[in-house]
């Protein structure tokens, strides 16, 4: 009996030792980016990269939940509430860009890289095969797309950054990632919803009127909110707008879009689930000033 017990202990010890020989299985990739390196740039401890695994995507969803639902007060459905993740059907077909702080620490002081920013990217060729763009739920994109059949569109969405990382460096890193992605896929124009906090357009009369009078897309680059969701942005006359106050009232992201040459669609849309008033951003790559294209180009990645 003693001999059998000793043999059993030896077998158990050998088995456990054997387990330690083999490395843990790597997460299975669910996003393949071909010749595009998922790592799109780095500045110090911050890296911008594309999600490759399901875990990567879940980390982006957790960050979005924290920013949109816990900080911003959006209304979560049962699935998102239980998982503490912002889960959207479009996540399945989109690429997800992450900003990761490799020097972040856990609550126990150990180094634990964390996702601090994210963007969601949807190319037109992928959207066409899967029912269209997310922003088509709020804006009539069909005429815009029909006028530019030779242009590859990219939809930007679900952008968010943790409060303590909302700095020029983080935003610049995200834009460098987008520039690399655009160059690789030969994108000709970007679109997407940008949001103001709050669901009362009258409280946003000044910035919305500013966009209407000074940054409205025209001609071939015009688009409009869906008729059933259309909220007029023309609430204050052009002459009565205080430009300085109007610019100060714009969210940082919208000011950034304006700075690089973006225009905006006609009409806003109230999104009650997210507690926001949305506008459509339209940004042809040809409209981006050369100084910004040079600054954000892949050759300028070095920190």
Residue 157, pLDDT score: 95
Burial class (CB in 10 A: 0-12, 13-18, 19+), 249: middle
Domain CATH for 231 = 3.40.630.30
Residue 248, pLDDT score: 97
Query: Which ranges constitute the DSSP H helices of 215-268?
Result: 243-248, 252-259
Length of the chain: 303
pLDDT (tens place) for every residue of the chain, 303 residues total: 444 444 555 545 544 544 444 444 445 666 788 899 999 999 999 999 999 999 999 999 999 999 999 999 899 999 999 999 999 999 999 999 999 999 998 877 788 899 999 999 999 999 999 999 999 999 999 999 999 999 999 999 999 999 999 988 898 899 999 999 999 999 999 999 999 999 999 999 999 999 999 999 999 999 999 999 999 999 999 999 999 999 999 998 999 899 999 999 999 999 999 999 999 999 999 988 665 655 556 554 433
146 found inside a domain:
yes
Helix (H, G, I), strand (E, B) or coil at 106: coil
> Cα–Cα distance between 189 and 261 in angstroms, integer?
12
> Cα–Cα distance between 172 and 194 in angstroms, integer?
17
Q: In this structure, are residues 120 and 133 in contact, taking their beta carbons and an 8 Å threshold?
A: no
Predicted model pTM: 0.86
211 found inside a domain:
yes
6 found inside a domain:
no
Q: In this structure, are residues 126 and 153 in contact, taking their beta carbons and an 8 Å threshold?
A: no
DSSP 235: -
Residue 23, pLDDT score: 44
3 found inside a domain:
no
Q: In this structure, are residues 158 and 88 in contact, taking their beta carbons and an 8 Å threshold?
A: yes
C-alpha dihedral sign at 274, 279, 284, 288: negative
Residue 31, pLDDT score: 76
> Cα–Cα distance between 190 and 123 in angstroms, integer?
9
Residue 111, pLDDT score: 86
Q: In this structure, are residues 223 and 217 in contact, taking their beta carbons and an 8 Å threshold?
A: yes
Q: Which residues contact 126 (CB under 8 A, 6 or more apart)?
A: 93, 94
10 found inside a domain:
no
258 found inside a domain:
yes
Residue 149: which domain range? 24-300
Instruction: State the DSSP string of 183-203.
Output: HHHT--EEEEEEEEESS-GGG
Residue 66, pLDDT score: 96
| Structural domains of the chain, count | 1
Name 193's bridge partners.
Answer: 280
DSSP 119: E
15 found inside a domain:
no
163 found inside a domain:
yes
Residue 29, pLDDT score: 64
27 φ, ψ to 5°?
-60, 140
């Amino acid at each position: 009996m003693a001999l059998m017990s000793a043999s059993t202990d030896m077998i158990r010890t050998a088995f456990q030792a054997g387990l330690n020989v083999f490395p843990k299985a790597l997460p299975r990739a669910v996003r393949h980016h071909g010749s595009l390196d998922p790592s799109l740039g780095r500045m110090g401890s911050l890296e911008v990269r594309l999600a490759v695994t399901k875990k990567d995507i879940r980390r982006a969803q957790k960050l979005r939940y924290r920013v949109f639902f816990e900080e911003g007060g959006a209304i979560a459905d049962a699935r998102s509430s239980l998982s503490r993740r912002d889960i959207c059907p479009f996540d399945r077909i989109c690429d997800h860009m992450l900003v990761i702080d490799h020097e972040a620490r856990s609550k126990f002081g150990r180094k634990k890289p964390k996702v601090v920013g994210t963007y969601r990217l949807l190319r037109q060729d992928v959207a066409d095969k899967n029912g269209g763009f997310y922003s088509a739920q709020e804006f009539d994109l069909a005429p815009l797309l029909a006028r530019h059949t030779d242009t590859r569109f990219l939809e930007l969405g679900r952008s968010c950054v943790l409060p303590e990382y909302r700095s020029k460096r983080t935003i610049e890193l995200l834009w460098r990632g987008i520039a690399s992605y655009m160059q690789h896929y030969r994108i000709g124009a970007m679109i997407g919803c940008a949001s103001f906090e709050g669901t009362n357009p009258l409280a946003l009369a000044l910035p919305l009127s500013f966009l209407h009078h000074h940054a409205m897309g025209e001609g071939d680059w015009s688009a409009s909110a869906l008729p059933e969701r259309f909220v007029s942005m023309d609430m204050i006359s052009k002459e009565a707008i205080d430009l300085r106050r109007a610019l100060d009232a714009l969210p940082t992201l919208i000011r950034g879009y304006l700075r690089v040459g973006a225009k905006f669609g006609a009409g806003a849309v109230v999104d009650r689930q997210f507690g926001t008033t949305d506008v459509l951003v339209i940004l042809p790559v040809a409209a981006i000033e050369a100084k910004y294209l040079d600054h954000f180009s892949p050759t300028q990645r070095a920190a």
